[in-house]
């Protein structure tokens, strides 16, 4: 019997690529049953590109500064992604706002990780803003992307405590540890065909999510055994 091919993934990055590394490692360990077919960065010479190349994954730069506007950049990005014919496009620290045309083209197969407990602190500088606001819990959210910035339906969140002597850097490091555990889990659900977006709602295992899953929920903990 022919085995069905692994779902194809393209990862978009802009920087150090620690989340990309977590995905590369999870594929190598068999925790993600998918194939990272390509990595694309909008910034040249970032560390994430080297991580991809070290793993033997085709990596290329599409520099947004080479384009006169957002639409033409997004068209070029779309064409580069389509060459890999991916089932899923993963934003892993990709720091560009995407046009509705791009989002529409990848609807239901475009996932982002954001470093806050959405809907709190959409946008940039989330760790600074969490400290300024004096929240006791902070974290990350993994969500399907829609046309609203950081506003797409949330799949999974992981929380961390905010400690009295935290700086933006210490808090970011604590959140990132959770990102690296949570993101591969969600990508595996997608690759297993368990996770879908239907009419703007997240479905997992043929049930609509009534609220974002939390990383400590039984379903996510149960999965960590496999």
Distances (CA, A) of 185 to 23, 96, 166, 225: 9, 24, 27, 11
d(CA 118, CA 207) in angstroms, rounded, equals 22
Q: Which of 84, 105, 106, 114 is catalytic?
A: 114
> Which CB sits closer to ligand GRF, 15 or 151?
15
> Which CB sits closer to ligand GRF, 181 or 203?
181
Nearest-5° Cα angle at 90, 88 to 95: 145
> Which CB sits closer to ligand GRF, 176 or 188?
176
Please give the residue ranges that form the binding site for ligand GRF (CB under 6 A): 13, 15-20, 48, 92-93, 113-115, 140, 176, 179
For ligand GRF, the nearest residue by Cβ is 93
Contact indicator for 151, 159 with CB cutoff of 8 Å: no
89 CB-contact burial (10 Å; exposed 0-12 / middle 13-18 / buried 19+):
buried
> Which CB sits closer to ligand GRF, 99 or 178?
178
Pairing mode, if any, of strands 59-61 and 195-198? unpaired
How many CA atoms, within 13 angstroms, populate the side-chain half-sphere of residue 85?
3
Per the annotation, the verdict on 114 as an active-site residue is yes
* Active-site residue set: 114
């Amino acid at each position: 019997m022919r085995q069905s091919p692994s779902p194809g993934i393209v990862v978009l990055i802009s920087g150090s690529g620690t989340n990309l590394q977590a995905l590369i490692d999870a594929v190598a360990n068999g925790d993600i049953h998918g194939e990272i077919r390509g990595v694309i960065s909008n910034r040249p010479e970032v560390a994430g590109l080297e991580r991809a190349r070290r793993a033997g994954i085709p990596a290329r730069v599409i520099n947004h500064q080479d384009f006169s506007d957002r639409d033409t950049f997004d068209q070029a990005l779309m064409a580069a992604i389509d060459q890999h014919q991916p089932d899923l496009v993963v934003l892993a620290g990709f720091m560009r706002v995407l046009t509705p045309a791009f989002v529409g083209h990848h609807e239901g197969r475009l996932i982002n990780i954001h470093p806050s407990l959405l809907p709190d602190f959409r946008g940039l500088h989330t760790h600074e803003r969490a400290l300024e606001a004096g929240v006791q819990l902070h974290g990350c959210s993994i969500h399907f992307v829609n046309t609203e910035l950081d506003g797409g339906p949330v799949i999974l969140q992981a929380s961390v405590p905010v400690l009295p002597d935290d700086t933006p850097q210490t808090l970011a490091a604590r959140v990132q540890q959770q990102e690296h555990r949570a993101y591969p889990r969600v990508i595996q659900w997608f690759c297993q065909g368990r996770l879908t977006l239907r009419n703007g709602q997240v479905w997992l295992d043929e049930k609509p999510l009534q609220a974002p899953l939390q990383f400590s929920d039984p379903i996510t903990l149960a999965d960590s055994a496999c």
